[in-house]
Structure 1
């Protein structure tokens, strides 16, 4: 069965995909392409879902790697497959055939690449950028790690995948103060008046774009897909919370080094 995913021309020539919730075998609240191994889903279904994702990207299932995501800023350099990923929120590799997978359900998945000048010269990265990680500097940490491996900031391309959109993301004054307090970019434009007094609508993909531009990444695209408002295609943590809680699946975004 073919598994649908979103891709960007900005990463042409680099195997990648922002997968939706469609095309898998999970059931109930995890229907159908849930890829989160900590979600409580049937392990048999999870294995099959991840095999389908790896096949769609064109890598061996054992080469599709993930992390124990913690909303931090740690970026790890990946050189070989592992059974259980470390506690981190970003990965970078220049090893051909390795695929880096990020799990999200409202946070921003960000895939980056320096395609290099020929075969075997690409450097790729995958980032889990929730508001905490983005504010703390996970995107900058990833760009610095890529540069340390030989990537040129002027050659980097970044694509921000499906995440919660500003119209759906009402936040309190505490989050706004935390974002504005960092001062790395002018963040005020990324807040609009909220529907309730003392609340604001936060533009997470716009903020991530600004942080990427601020550290020298000129080529940035945001796909503009809102996870909360599109239940047919995407899992959403906030949508689940607003509905009263319960189990939830997560989509995966993957980039592989050619």
Structure 2
């Protein structure tokens, strides 16, 4: 049903990178589709959401999400906000600070979960190639301020890996500009292939986040059809998995 980051788990942050298993949706959205806008049965999607929040131990609280647009806007949650209203807003990162669960939906893009081990604040970030090139992850980190980069824990979730991620030369150039000194192009293919994770790691390093505080949990959404949804592989018939993280409640002590 999901993958976890040993790094986030070790510091007591409830979180998950869901896969496509363990839900109730029928094919082609079988079975843990968490997207409401892909043509799946609405009741099945809501049932899938309930399974996730129950497994995370936050039920009956909802997963707070936004309308993702491949941009860089960061939305910070306020206490008591209505999840349906937040869901209608356009953004690509969510920040929570007091026991709320935030999620981003993906089907090839990189779900990034960020946690401040001192304050307990968290961010869920949707980083496709456009968002990565435009700096959505640095924007989310800055929005967590005040924060010490050495206190941040970051997990990169399953996404399309370089062997499957063929792109145009202009995409390579935009990604290269987003992380000067880093080469996102993976050679050995007839056409350019891009590595999003190497750019995201370089952006985090430029912000002062230690390499030891960043974990990639693995998984290729394109190559592992039985395990993950992939828009590039399945097009409009693809569901969405999610990266989900729960902020530590105010007043709860940090783990060492």
Scaled by the length of structure 1, the TM-score of the pair is 0.89
| Cα distance between partner residues in 2 of 1:192 and 1:83 | 40
- 2:129/2:196 contact within 8 Å kept: yes
Show the counterpart of 1:201. Answer: 193
Q: CA deviation at 1:184?
A: 3.7
Structure-2 change in CA distance of 1:134 and 1:61 (3 Å): farther
Show the counterpart of 1:253. Answer: 243
Unmatched 5+ residue regions in structure 1?
none
| Cα distance between partner residues in 2 of 1:134 and 1:195 | 22
| Cα distance between partner residues in 1 of 2:218 and 2:180 | 21
Root-mean-square deviation (Å) = 1.4
Larger displacement relative to structure 2 (14-23 or 164-173) = 164-173
Structure 1 position 156 matched with structure 2 position 152? yes
- 1:185/1:211 contact within 8 Å kept: no
| Cα distance between partner residues in 2 of 1:101 and 1:194 | 35
Unmatched 5+ residue regions in structure 2?
249-256
| Cα distance between partner residues in 2 of 1:112 and 1:59 | 18
Show the counterpart of 1:140. Answer: 138
| Cα distance between partner residues in 2 of 1:174 and 1:207 | 15
Q: CA deviation at 1:193?
A: 2.3
| Cα distance between partner residues in 2 of 1:37 and 1:194 | 38
Secondary structure class of the residue paired with 2:142: helix
Show the counterpart of 1:192. Answer: 186
Q: How many residues were matched structurally?
A: 240
5 Å-filtered alignment, 1:62-77, equals 62-77=61-76
| Cα distance between partner residues in 1 of 2:120 and 2:173 | 38
Show the counterpart of 2:44. Answer: 45
Structure-2 change in CA distance of 1:131 and 1:195 (3 Å): same
Structure-2 change in CA distance of 1:39 and 1:61 (3 Å): farther
| Cα distance between partner residues in 2 of 1:183 and 1:10 | 26
Q: CA deviation at 1:194?
A: 5.3
1:124 maps to which of 110, 118, 122: 122
Secondary structure class of the residue paired with 2:243: strand
1:165 maps to which of 143, 156, 161: 161
| Cα distance between partner residues in 1 of 2:60 and 2:240 | 18
| Cα distance between partner residues in 1 of 2:158 and 2:237 | 20
| Cα distance between partner residues in 2 of 1:83 and 1:138 | 23
Secondary structure class of the residue paired with 2:44: helix
Give structure 1 regions of 4+ aligned residues with deviation exceeding 3 angstroms. none
- 1:209/1:222 contact within 8 Å kept: no
Scaled by the length of structure 2, the TM-score of the pair is 0.90
| Cα distance between partner residues in 2 of 1:62 and 1:15 | 14
